[in-house]
Amino acid sequence: MSDRILVTRSSMPPLDEYVREIAPLWESHWLTNMGEKHQQLEEDLKRYLNVSNVALFVNGHTALECVLEAMQLGADGRRKVITTPFTFASTTHAIVRVGLEPVLADIDPVTYTLDPESVEALIDDETCAIVPVHVYGKLCDVDALADIAKRHNLALVYDAAHAFGVTRNGVSSASFGDAAMFSFHATKVFNSIEGGAVCFADPALGPLLDQWKNFGITSQEDVEYVGGNAKMNEFAAAMGICNLRHLPEEIAKRKKVTERYRERLRGHRGIVLCDEQPGVVSNYAYFPVVFEDDFGATRDDVFEELHVYGIYSRKYFHPLVSDFACYAGRFDSNATPVAKHVAKRVLTLPMYADLAMSDIDRICDVVLGCAR
């Protein structure tokens, strides 16, 4: 359908701006291995996020794997990592792929982020870290989680893929925990086509991250770690440089989209919208709607009806990680009842900066029509 509405659309700079940015590469022929554009994007991100330490990666998933490796989690025999089942596959996969054991805690019923009380109840002598996930541009309870991590001597590494540019009381989401991973995938608020980054508190971690993402090479004649190839290339870095210039206006447009959705959907029976968090400036990454039983139609009914009209939404996150086939028999989703409840009912509606108000109205008309 020519008038279909996709669930997201990548933000891109003007073509001539990107061409100007990549033109020097035809002179230098330095296309990867942490060249000029790579270095510039790291510096730009430090300024934008107001942090001292940033390491770029080919994508967010490998960034998370590398930081877990570089922090040497599990080296003392403790291998359990508490995280959430209400997340994208990457979070849990990264933990498993570096030889650690994920333990799934429940989520807060308002923010859908990791519930600190559920986390603390699962800590034992084998726990080494907590990997919370900021969801939809909503922040975890960073104060409570920091307190828990400190009292139990645990590493605290945030999956902040949804929280780029989000602040709380003026403090960047990149500043919380020992480290925070960001995804710069094409579908994210800020993208470098593919890419990711780790922001970290301890500067000593920087050289280790650079080594882990470059096969574990520590010098021209030494390879000390079994690392991988996770370096961002220059063309991706150049796209990031350009997109970062336009990010404030992109977020401002997303805010207007969110406000229109809220205007149309707020107050309708059976529709639950995420509340704004006190002191938090969101990036408006997603627009989730939870359809409770008294709405008059199920989440799946709404999903199918939208599709009939050429509108593409997403059951995000469904199923829970604990119900993935690859983890069959390993977890019990009934142990996280809040997460299970939300996963069965949540739908993210189309969200991107240039989504027209008329299209938002069209989407909302279909959604509200399902209740009748």
Residue after which a domain boundary falls, among 195, 213, 241: 241
pLDDT over 70 (residue 265): yes
**Confidence category of residue 288, pLDDT binned at 50, 70, 90:** very high
> What's the CA gap between 199 and 74, in Å, rounded?
21
Same domain (yes/no): 233, 286: no
Same domain (yes/no): 291, 317: yes
Asked if 251 contacts 352 with a C-beta cutoff of 8 angstroms, the reply is no
Same domain (yes/no): 188, 321: no
Same domain (yes/no): 251, 232: no
**Confidence category of residue 352, pLDDT binned at 50, 70, 90:** very high
Residue after which a domain boundary falls, among 241, 264, 298: 241
- What average pLDDT does the structure give for the chain? 97
Q: Following DSSP, what letter does each residue of 142-167 receive, concatenated?
A: HHHHHHHHHHTT-EEEEE-TT-TT-E
pLDDT over 70 (residue 235): yes
Domain around 256: 247-371
Check whether the bond before 337 is cis (ω within 30° of 0).
no
pLDDT over 70 (residue 2): no
Asked if 244 contacts 45 with a C-beta cutoff of 8 angstroms, the reply is yes
Residue after which a domain boundary falls, among 241, 267, 302: 241
Domain assignment present for 111: yes
Give the per-residue pLDDT at 105: 98
pLDDT over 90 (residue 83): yes
Phi, psi angles (nearest 5°) of residue 181: -95, 135
Q: What whole-number percentage of the chain has pLDDT above 70?
A: 99
Domain assignment present for 332: yes
- Range list of β-strands (E), 21-146: 54-57, 80-83, 101-104, 127-131
CATH number, domain of 58, equals 3.40.640.10
Asked if 158 contacts 113 with a C-beta cutoff of 8 angstroms, the reply is no
pLDDT over 80 (residue 322): yes
Domain assignment present for 67: yes
Domain assignment present for 2: no
Same domain (yes/no): 319, 270: yes
Domain assignment present for 60: yes
Same domain (yes/no): 358, 251: yes
Give the per-residue pLDDT at 1: 43
CATH number, domain of 302, equals 3.90.1150.10
Same domain (yes/no): 210, 94: yes
Give the per-residue pLDDT at 116: 98
Tens digit of each residue's pLDDT (9 = 90 or more) over 158-175: 999 999 999 999 999 999
* Residue corresponding to tokens 């995938």: 185
Same domain (yes/no): 192, 258: no
Tens digit of each residue's pLDDT (9 = 90 or more) over 117-150: 999 999 999 999 999 999 999 999 999 999 999 9
Same domain (yes/no): 226, 318: no
Give the per-residue pLDDT at 198: 98
Domain assignment present for 307: yes
Count up the domains in the chain and report the number: 2
Same domain (yes/no): 172, 292: no
Domain assignment present for 153: yes
Same domain (yes/no): 220, 311: no
Same domain (yes/no): 165, 306: no
> What's the CA gap between 139 and 133, in Å, rounded?
8
Tens digit of each residue's pLDDT (9 = 90 or more) over 32-77: 999 999 999 999 999 999 999 999 999 999 999 999 999 999 999 9
**Confidence category of residue 3, pLDDT binned at 50, 70, 90:** confident
pLDDT over 60 (residue 254): yes
Domain assignment present for 10: no
